[in-house]
Structure 1
Amino acid sequence: MMKTAEHFGFKLRERKGAVAVIVALAMTVFLGIAAMAVDVGHIMVVKNELHNAADADALARANLLYAHTPSGFTSATPPTPDWAAAESAASTIDPANKSDGVTLTSYEVETGYWNLDQNPAGLQPKSITPGTRDVAAVKVTVRRVDGTNGGSIRHWFGAFVGNLTSNASATAIAICSSPGTAKPGTLVPMAIPLWIAKRASHYNSPSNLLTIGSAYHYDAYAPVNPDGDPYTNTVAGQWTSLTSDPINNANHLKDIIVNGNSNPLSIGDPLYIEPGTMDVGYHDNYMGLYEGQTVFLPVVDAVLRDAVKQNPAPPIEAFIGFHITKVSSGKEKYIRGYFVENAYLGGGPGGPYYGAWVPPVLVY
């Protein structure tokens, strides 16, 4: 039986209808994929903004942990952190943080201690007795959910597939610690004995000055140990190579004074203590450059008159800030100044406290 033109026309219309249905379904799928891609990208941007806000907020709060603590640094143990200052700082630090153009006003803040070895893991409560590896910390969480910080993240195209909003959050933990490591270029090559560092509060203002340098030229200014232990009348400071190797010559010392330590130095690293005066170091073009400035010095547990004879060389015990008020390169060679608190040394956390801090850092 022959097929008529009408028969073929019917089949053609039938196929056209099927293609139209397939195209409509495909367009729906493609639009859904496009909507998902746009919304996922938007959500990722908002989440990144939340992470940036949490990071900035945690760092700013950690910076307040010791900003208002009482003066006096006579112990290797840091003072009690000002938890309240860090917890209630919203009015001064939060308004600058935004997400999706919305000002973030609600933050969840916890304070406590962070173990640098993460043993135990996570943020520990303020009620613990901190050990040498426990440092003050601030944990900040910021959320975009219904009723908080502008509400959940609205989807631009997700409504086409029935997905209207998403929740998002970010958490950051920042710590504040005394230094365990000094970055390159941050130390001046004059070592301080530990017994002096422990009595830093005796020399902590322009009216309570300490004179340091070679005992050959400033004995009249040498401090007297108030406890009368064997270190009495020892030198208060002496040149160091900032390594375990001796200073080669005058030019080598000049380079160390101007440029500081060439490599990172940490608690426990050995330092060679130089004997003698090394007159060139007190020149106006060398230590004289630091007059009126705060510098950072390594601390060693040694009698500096005899430390050069120690084998191995004495290790670094701590780092301390010292504000130089006068450098004398005349008949008497000395550096005069006072120890400072709440000064930032570029480096890493983990050392005992003698007034210096490293800038707050994020650990989570």
Structure 2
Amino acid sequence: MYHPAHLRRTTTTREMKRQRGSIAMFFLLFLVVLLSFGAFAVDLARVSVARNELQNAADAAALSGASALMSGGNGGPAWQQAQTAAGSGVALNRSDGHTLTTATVLSGYWNLSGSPAGLQPTTITPGTDDVPAVQVMVTRAANVNGGAIDLLLGWVLKLLSTPGSATAVAVASAPGTVGAGGLFPVVLNRCLFDQYWNAQTNQPLIDPNSGQPYELNILNGQMDGGSCYAGQWTSFLTNANNVPTIRALMANGNPSPLSIGDSIWIEPGAKTTLYDSVPSNVTVVMPVATQIDIKSYVPIVAFAAFHIDQAVGGNQKYIQGHFVGGYRIPASATGVGPDYGAYIAPRLAG
């Protein structure tokens, strides 16, 4: 017969064993949960870094492509050169230690207002908000760019890898603002563009006789199309009608940034001694305005690229040159404006 004290000891021993077993089971379950959370935390950071690297690669490649878009000069956007440049740019990047070798690269027009959304074909007639663009999508997946992104602790969740991708669009657009030093002190009349600019391709019209853009004479009352005064001197924001001011502006450009909508001072007149100071065989950026025939302030409506071929003094006093397309403004420039051949540095859309 068992003694009661012995019975109590036996019962206590069994309970302790059951408790130890429960604690061990609970610990194992807790360890699995802990490892799962740890795996999630570690791999989430890893995947985030890898995907950020993919986005950086897509951004850089798209910008590289957009930089090449305007290499076509007067022939319009260089779509194929842009795609080639973007594809080459992808290979300069890595994701999670893997060199990227391939991407989906498309070129076309991007509507800056978002309507329509997405990349449009190169064959459309671009509207006011449609600008040349390059779109790049970089993907890590099975057998693509080193495969899907490896998960270091994914085995805990029976997930060994996960795909990743990134898309970027870069555009080349005309400026809405040109920074200090970026403008030549001559204002062009917008009516010139109605006659010598192809609004469908955003390129200068070609003279069938020469096979080159039409040659234009501007300043000193030169007219095109009957009542269209081709161009006039401007002192920008300052009301000044003297040669020293204009000569200084030719050398240094506009003293402060100018934007579409800002009013600039028109200075009709010959300014006889200025023509020896006009540079030749250079492309400059000029503001565009309307009604430039009298001394007054007029609003800027656009910025245009104009190639100065020569300056003629003496009795005639005019600047001869032609419109150009795809000219990258060397000064700082921002915003978006009508496309008259001058472009700002490429930027990411959105």
- TM-score normalised according to structure 2 size: 0.75
More strand by share: 2
Identify the range of structure 1 (178-187 vs 122-131) with the bigger mean alpha-carbon deviation: 178-187
Structure 1 distance, partners of 2:102, 2:335, is: 30
1:249, CA displacement in angstroms? Answer: 11
| Number of the residue aligned with 1:174 | 170
Do the aligned residues in 2 keep the contact of 1:178 with 1:357 (CA within 8 Å)? yes
| Number of the residue aligned with 2:105 | 109
Aligned: 1:237 with 2:241: no
Aligned: 1:265 with 2:269: no
Identify the range of structure 1 (254-263 vs 169-178) with the bigger mean alpha-carbon deviation: 254-263
Identify the range of structure 1 (142-151 vs 127-136) with the bigger mean alpha-carbon deviation: 127-136
Change (3 A) 1:185 1:20: farther
Do the aligned residues in 1 keep the contact of 2:73 with 2:327 (CA within 8 Å)? no
Aligned: 1:163 with 2:156: no
Poorly superposed stretches of 4+, deviation over 4 Å: 195-202, 208-212, 247-259, 274-279, 290-295, 322-328, 334-341
| Number of the residue aligned with 1:356 | 342
| Number of the residue aligned with 1:41 | 45
Which of the numbers 274, 278, 285 marks the counterpart of 1:296?
Answer: 285
| Number of the residue aligned with 1:76 | none
Structure 2 distance, partners of 1:9, 1:256, is: 101
Structure 2 distance, partners of 1:153, 1:114, is: 31
Root mean square deviation, CA, Å? 4.1
Change (3 A) 1:89 1:248: closer
Change (3 A) 1:185 1:28: farther
Structure 2 distance, partners of 1:302, 1:37, is: 66
Change (3 A) 1:7 1:249: farther
Structure 2 distance, partners of 1:327, 1:70, is: 23
Partner amino acid, structure 2, of 1:104: L
| Number of the residue aligned with 2:61 | 57
Identify the range of structure 1 (295-304 vs 317-326) with the bigger mean alpha-carbon deviation: 317-326
Do the aligned residues in 2 keep the contact of 1:175 with 1:362 (CA within 8 Å)? yes
Structure 2 distance, partners of 1:229, 1:359, is: 37
1:50-102: CA deviation from partner (whole Å, max 9, x where unpaired): 1111111112222222312445xxxxxxx3x3322233446643321221122
Structure 1 distance, partners of 2:94, 2:104, is: 16
1:196, CA displacement in angstroms? Answer: 5.6
What does 1:193-204 correspond to in 2, within 5 Å? 193-195=189-191
1:120, CA displacement in angstroms? Answer: 1.9
1:211, CA displacement in angstroms? Answer: 7.4
1:324, CA displacement in angstroms? Answer: 7.2
| Number of the residue aligned with 1:10 | 14
1:210-240: CA deviation from partner (whole Å, max 9, x where unpaired): 676xx5xxxxxx7x44x451346x7x43123
1:118-142: CA deviation from partner (whole Å, max 9, x where unpaired): 2222222333322222222222111
Do the aligned residues in 2 keep the contact of 1:324 with 1:335 (CA within 8 Å)? no
1:295, CA displacement in angstroms? Answer: 4.3
| Number of the residue aligned with 2:79 | 83
Structure 1 distance, partners of 2:259, 2:250, is: 14
**3-state SS of the aligned residue for 2:236?**
coil
| Number of the residue aligned with 2:27 | 23
Identity %: 34
Do the aligned residues in 1 keep the contact of 2:328 with 2:342 (CA within 8 Å)? yes
| Number of the residue aligned with 2:199 | none
| Number of the residue aligned with 1:318 | 302
**3-state SS of the aligned residue for 1:66?**
helix
Which of the numbers 133, 148, 151 marks the counterpart of 1:152?
Answer: 148
Change (3 A) 1:257 1:70: closer
1:270-292: CA deviation from partner (whole Å, max 9, x where unpaired): 3232467899x97x9xx89x899
**3-state SS of the aligned residue for 1:172?**
strand
How many residues align? The count is 329
Q: Which runs of 5+ in 1 are unaligned?
A: 72-78, 216-221
